[in-house]
Amino acid sequence: MTWSSLSLSFADVLWISLAFIFLAAAFVHGVSSRLLSKPDKSRPHVLFQDLIRYGKTKQNLRPDDWLHFFDVPKRWFWHFYVISVTWNSLLLLFYLSFTFQHQSHPSWLTTLLDIWSGVPSADSQVPQLSTLLVQLLLCVHSLRRLQECLCVSVFSDGSMHLVQYLFGLVYYVIVGLTALSTDRLGKGTGSLLSQMDWFHLAGSVLFIWASWMQHQSMVLLARLRTGKSGSVQTLAHRLPQGGWFELVSCPHYFAELVIYIALGLVLGGLSLTWWIVVLYVLFSQGLEAQLCHDFYKSKYESYPKHRKAFIPFVL
């Protein structure tokens, strides 16, 4: 039995693999931290930790010197969003001319999409309005994150692994391809306005709410390092307080999950591939939130007991 016989596209298999890698990493990390009474300094363990952690959660890891060779500044996060804004705006333009001027995509893009999502199937039901909205919201999301990286966040000298950096560079490229491939045939029924449904509105409202929550969390994190005048006073990692930080250690990671769920809703819940992407976001952000939660708990003895790591009241 092959994955094509299961009607899974290359995109499905890739997103399932990514989701599984993060789930497995969370499992291995959870088991090893419960079983080991003192830190494991073996090379495979340190390499594993170096690959799953970045920024503050990597601070106490003492990798061999050779591993520092692969460190990239975490403040380079903005590179991901420059690529995302550029690539996703380009894809949006292609889709607009496909929808309104009935122009085919350039041949390189058609080939890429054929590999990515397989030959278009006639039973795709995602409305054109959904694909268009998701592409637009992805551009808005990336622009906001770019603005936050450049103008709001105060970065320390934290680092990430070169592998994480390279993955971040391609991440929004494949997210954009996934969004575009939700409608390959452009056989939408009626005008865009007549396609409008309750889930477009509900998904957009949820997207705006989650984006606001994420933005507020980024502002609160930045304020931990700045004074009243806005000047940077420290680069230390302090105890976050206020807003959704009262409920979870990482509300910005939770907001990220809600943003992807909102986009799944905008697609009318009809794209299986998108729900696999949501699963990937759940596992990847869940792992990072747990590492961050453990970091705060080990640093602050008085860390609020009721505060969860990732999902308010749940996880």
Binding site for ligand NAP (CB under 6 A): 55-56, 74, 77, 153-156, 158, 214, 221, 224-225, 237-238, 240, 252-253, 256, 281, 284-285
Q: Residue 89: which residues within 8 A CB-CB, separation 6 or more?
A: 139
The separation between the first and the last C-alpha atoms of the chain, rounded to the nearest angstrom, is 36
In this structure, the strands spanning 159-161 and 71-73 are: antiparallel
CA distance linking residue 309 with residue 247, whole number of Å: 8
CA distance linking residue 177 with residue 179, whole number of Å: 5
Alpha-carbon distances, residue 131 vs 96, 105, 189 (angstroms): 10, 15, 13
Identify which of residues 63 and 188 has a Cβ nearer to ligand NAP in the complex.
Answer: 63
Identify which of residues 88 and 128 has a Cβ nearer to ligand NAP in the complex.
Answer: 88
Which helix (H) or strand (E) segment holds residue 71: the answer is strand 71-73
- Number of neighbours of residue 70 by Cβ within 10 angstroms: 17
| Least gap, CB of 158 to ligand NAP (angstroms) | 4
| Least gap, CB of 1 to ligand NAP (angstroms) | 30
Three-state secondary structure call for residue 248: strand
| Least gap, CB of 251 to ligand NAP (angstroms) | 9
| Least gap, CB of 77 to ligand NAP (angstroms) | 6
Identify which of residues 181 and 217 has a Cβ nearer to ligand NAP in the complex.
Answer: 217
| Least gap, CB of 93 to ligand NAP (angstroms) | 24
Identify which of residues 56 and 79 has a Cβ nearer to ligand NAP in the complex.
Answer: 56
Question: What does the chain come to in residues?
Answer: 315
CA-closest candidate to residue 207, choices 288, 138, 147:
138
Burial of 270 (0-12, 13-18, 19+ CB in 10 A): middle
Q: Using CA of residue 238, residue 242, residue 246, residue 247, what is the dihedral sign?
A: negative
Identify which of residues 12 and 256 has a Cβ nearer to ligand NAP in the complex.
Answer: 256
Identify which of residues 32 and 226 has a Cβ nearer to ligand NAP in the complex.
Answer: 226
| Least gap, CB of 225 to ligand NAP (angstroms) | 5
| Least gap, CB of 202 to ligand NAP (angstroms) | 22
| Least gap, CB of 21 to ligand NAP (angstroms) | 12
Amino acid of residue 83? I
Identify which of residues 186 and 299 has a Cβ nearer to ligand NAP in the complex.
Answer: 299
Identify which of residues 184 and 252 has a Cβ nearer to ligand NAP in the complex.
Answer: 252
| Least gap, CB of 55 to ligand NAP (angstroms) | 4
Identify which of residues 105 and 237 has a Cβ nearer to ligand NAP in the complex.
Answer: 237
Write out the DSSP string of 79-144: HHHHHHHHHHHHHHHHHHHHHHS-PPPPHHHHHHHHHHH-SPPTT----HHHHHHHHHHHHHHHHH
